[in-house]
Structure 1
Amino acid sequence: MSEKLSCEWCGSGDVKMEKRSVYWELPEGTRAVEIKETPTACCVSCGMEYQKEAMVKEIEDQLFLIDRSKLGKTVLYEELMKMPRLLKRNYFDFTQ
């Protein structure tokens, strides 16, 4: 059974998970990439589309830990998350 989602913006329970394109700035700030088919919470009530905080952290960690020179202008979410990491984890994240 899937978890019942509520909108983080308006509190509505009418939220659907869909796959959307998102645009993410690389850690060094030199450019942005389009990440296609990214799981996205879409609120029917207020129209807000967003990624949950845990997913934001996963994407940011992955972008920090991979060889970004091998990253094109667009990438599928699943492909991004499968790219080999240069380090096992983000040693600069002190919230862990």
Structure 2
Amino acid sequence: MSEQCEWCESNNITKGTDHVYWELPDGTRAIKISDVPSTICHDCQMIYQSDLLIREIEDQLFLINTKEIGPETSFTNLMAQPRLLKRNYFDFTS
């Protein structure tokens, strides 16, 4: 089964990267994250990230010292930041 756009269900999608703006968990500011793996739909023009990737970013931002991140970072740099905890012990969805 081929992948489809989550918005319009088109098969005319590709994988790429995009930049996103993300509010930090403490709500103090937002940061720009560049080169985030994304799905690009060539029919409806949506560019989006998978639910799994969104959860990974949210968990990482929750588990690192966000004061060490400037106003902009790359996805690779963000995910390489050392964690203060091994996992998100406040996520009860799994």
Normalising by structure 1, we get a TM-score of: 0.94
Q: CA deviation at 1:19?
A: 1.0
Superposition pairs for residues 1-96 of structure 1, below 5 Å?
4-96=2-94
% identical aligned pairs: 49
Structure 1 segments, 4+ long, off by >3 Å, are none
RMSD (Å) for aligned C-alpha atoms: 1.1
In structure 2, C-alpha distance between the alignment counterparts of 1:34 and 1:57, rounded to whole Å: 17
Gaps of 5+ in 1: none
Alignment partners' CA distance in 1, 2:89 and 2:2: 33
Residue 64 of structure 1 aligns to a residue whose secondary structure is helix
Tell me the distance in 2 between the aligned counterparts of 1:82 and 1:9: 31
> TM-score, structure 2 length as denominator?
0.96
Deviation at 1:33, TM superposition (A): 0.4
Q: What's the offset of the Cα at 1:5?
A: 2.3
Any unmatched runs of 5+ in structure 2? none
Per-residue CA distance 1:7-49 (angstroms, 9 max, x = gap): 0000000111111111000001111100000001110000111
